[in-house]
Structure 1
Amino acid sequence: MTLRELSLAKQHELRVEVLPDKKLTVGLRRGDAEIFGAQIGLGEKVTIHGQKIAIFTYGGCLLELDGDAEVMYTSEETPMEAYINVHNVFENQRTKAQSNGGQGPRVMVVGPTDSGKSTLCRILINYALRLGWSPTFVDLDIGQGSIAPPGTIAATPVQLPVTVEDGYPLDVPLVFYFGHTTPVQNANLYKFQVERMATLLDRRANRHPTVAASGMLVNTMGWVEGLGYELILHAIKALKVDNVLVVGQERLHSQLESDLRQARNPRIQVLRLPKSGGVVTRSPETRRADRASRVRDYFYGVPRTLMPHSETIQSTELNIYRVGGGRQAQSSIRPAGTASLMNPLKITPVRVGNEISNCLLGVSHARTAEEILSVSVAGFIFIQRVDVRDDGEGTVTYLAPGPGSLPGRYLLLGSIEILNFT
């Protein structure tokens, strides 16, 4: 596509899909425009790499486009009116909390896979930022990961706009490495980490009135039935959520309304919002590719401008652990009257060998092995090569975001493995 201009009518949006090996530059020539709630300044240019985005205008605008797009079309059917309405509700709650020294809205966004939950979170966070608030973003979606790589439960304070070029700020994120992309692997550990996260966020909010008044936005997994639904209810309670936004599914909305009402918790408001017509349903293969891309983004940046460091060390220098004994048998398939003998929160040392090759490992802040369960991780390394003999002696080559010694002695292994990483 050559350089061209495109006029967008008021309350319309331009939906664009750019392939990973292509880029599109968007500039604002006239009017107002925003991408997922982040404003584009007049004369500013935004570069899009391998993303699906929507450019919305309230009053109409003239855009300048330069580059390649796989898909591009305009639409007047958007959910933005509903989104701005709930934003106004939360703005009133924040203002009230600020005046009385209380807690601002704690908002959880739920819905099935590929319903636009992450996008809605980003829009509401950017709208809050535009009014001077600093909300906390909590990401419980271990399958994809918006703050940290897949397999993590993470939270970060947000003080700058979340743009398509920079994403969420990563200066002081709080990250727990669950280590798997589905909670089936260890639901008890998932609950434990959500509760630990909630405790730490409560402490921060209690120390800083502005943080408390700004509230939080919580993104969730797309699994909304069975164990997935159970974990939604658990997270609502642990994080003291008082506003639940259900995107696109009437059944889930009705179920949550009924169950939360029976729990006699009148402070929780459950609202249903429409799903955007621009949301694209991804195949399992696409989702796996997206997960691998998120891991690469961590080391190489977007668009691949960072320079990670490869290091080879003796295998004996690594202290690797995993949490739990692997997948537990479900109660429905265990003999009647029996219980699982595996401790889902047990910390077990891992022998260095080919098992860790091509795996993502979390670098724990723990000072002792016993602390691994309750503390966050400082970052991640990727195991590139393992050359270890049967006696355990040999070398391991890993990729780190930068040179120098690792920020922690203890490493966490899960089940996240990326083949053909580079």
Structure 2
Amino acid sequence: IFTWHGATIEMDGGADTSDYVADETPMISYVNVHAVLEARRNRAKASSSSDSDSSQGPRVIVVGPTDSGKSTLSRMLLSWAAKQGWKPTFVDLDVGQGSITIPGCIAATPIEMPIDPVEGIPLEMPLVYFYGHITPSINLELYKVLVKELAQTLERQFAGNAESRAAGMVINTMGWIEGVGYELLLHAIDTFNADVVLVLGQEKLCSMLKDVLKNKLKVDVVKLQKSGGVVSRTPRYRQKSRGHRIREYFYGLANDLSPHSNVANFSDLSVYRIGGGPQAPRSALPIGAEPTADPTRVVAVNISQDLLHLVLAVSFAKEP
């Protein structure tokens, strides 16, 4: 808990609850980042051009390892911007947890008011792409396709809305920052044309990004200290958190929704998987050849016990 002006806190937990007052806090640096972003938004709003870079507000992408406070920082920057009257766009690329909707999706939504710490992000107009897995490693190419499609859709929206364009966006990413995960971060930075990269708690990652992005003069890479309040979560805790998010989606935050079951014949349903399937490794291909598998290829799935307790997306397409 952080407060600028002091607060009275009531704690319930008995003797097992331990509390302390930290001597250092990264909040000053976070607020300084907000001030810089606010200045960029004002410059973008003052610009009379609708198609130049000067009318584009800040596009911030928050990166860092697992349990570094990326989601929390994203929410703070969005809430502070909303308090100033802006409507920035929140983009969530973390399919493992899901800040906007259920895990297994990437999504974007405008933030019109400070985010409530209990109710979370309002789901009035979310733009959601269903990926279907909790890690991009299951189908890397499909993940890239969805990220690109999400970015292109937002670009079209910004082209017709000067207010949203000037407000910019804040992009939350996953905690996979090594190997292929690092490549996916670079792909997201390039696809969304991010001009501010905030690196939390990872000096090596910051150095690598500064080196690879040094030729992009309009991209600023900023290292920020991880908050001392960040808690490491176990795999079991993450699994429970995903289950809670899914239940919240169907039943509502206060159990105010009433989902019900429908019975359908197997003959009336068609289940498909997008992408995936066997693919020859690069080592088995001729020299210079690239894999030709289509990441958006639709593959029929047999209805069986394997589909029990899985979350599927409903498509409105008339044919596969």
- For the residue of structure 2 that corresponds to 1:84, the secondary structure is helix
Which of residues 152, 165, 176 in structure 2 aligns to 1:212? 165
- Cα distance per residue 1:224-279 (max 9 Å; x no partner): 01110101111111111000000010000000000011xx2100000000001111
- The residue correspondences of 1:82-97 to structure 2 (distance < 5 A) are 82-97=29-44
Residue 283 in structure 1 maps to residue 237 in structure 2 = no
**Equivalent residue number for residue 265 of structure 1:** 216
Which of residues 237, 251, 262 in structure 2 aligns to 1:311? 262
How many residue pairs get aligned? The number is: 311
Paired residue type of 1:236: I
- The residue correspondences of 1:154-233 to structure 2 (distance < 5 A) are 154-233=107-186
Q: Residue 154 of structure 1 contacts residue 173 of structure 1 at CA under 8 Å; is this kept in 2?
A: yes
Gaps of 5+ in 2: 49-54
Residues 318 and 306 of structure 1: CA distance in aligned 2, closer, same or farther (over 3 Å): same
Q: Residue 93 of structure 1 contacts residue 104 of structure 1 at CA under 8 Å; is this kept in 2?
A: yes
C-alpha root-mean-square deviation of aligned residues, in Å?
2.0
- For the residue of structure 1 that corresponds to 2:8, the secondary structure is strand
Residue 79 of structure 1: CA displacement?
1.3
Q: TM-score, normalised by structure 2?
A: 0.91
Residue 362 of structure 1: CA displacement?
1.1
Q: Which has the larger radius of gyration?
A: 1
Distance of 1:228 and 1:104 partners within structure 2: 27
Percent identical: 45
Residues 245 and 330 of structure 1: CA distance in aligned 2, closer, same or farther (over 3 Å): farther
Residue 344 of structure 1: CA displacement?
2.5
Distance of 2:166 and 2:252 partners within structure 1: 32
Distance of 2:13 and 2:258 partners within structure 1: 26
Gaps of 5+ in 1: 1-54, 371-422
More relative contact order in 1 or in 2 (CA 8 Å, sep 6+)? 2
Q: Residue 82 of structure 2 contacts residue 113 of structure 2 at CA under 8 Å; is this kept in 1?
A: yes
- For the residue of structure 2 that corresponds to 1:167, the secondary structure is coil
Residue 246 in structure 1 maps to residue 192 in structure 2 = no
**Equivalent residue number for residue 4 of structure 2:** 58
- The residue correspondences of 1:79-118 to structure 2 (distance < 5 A) are 79-101=26-48, 102-118=55-71
- Cα distance per residue 1:23-68 (max 9 Å; x no partner): xxxxxxxxxxxxxxxxxxxxxxxxxxxxxxxx321121223x2754
Paired residue type of 1:81: I
Which of residues 347, 356, 363 in structure 1 aligns to 2:307? 356
Greater strand fraction, Structure 1 or Structure 2:
1
- Cα distance per residue 1:314-333 (max 9 Å; x no partner): 2222232111134756546x
- Cα distance per residue 1:107-157 (max 9 Å; x no partner): 000000010000000000000011000000000001111011111110011
- For the residue of structure 2 that corresponds to 1:363, the secondary structure is coil
Residue 358 of structure 1: CA displacement?
0.8
Q: Which runs of 4+ in 1 moved over 6 A?
A: none
- For the residue of structure 2 that corresponds to 1:134, the secondary structure is coil
Residues 71 and 151 of structure 1: CA distance in aligned 2, closer, same or farther (over 3 Å): farther
Greater helix fraction, Structure 1 or Structure 2:
2
Q: Residue 83 of structure 2 contacts residue 113 of structure 2 at CA under 8 Å; is this kept in 1?
A: no
- The residue correspondences of 1:10-49 to structure 2 (distance < 5 A) are none
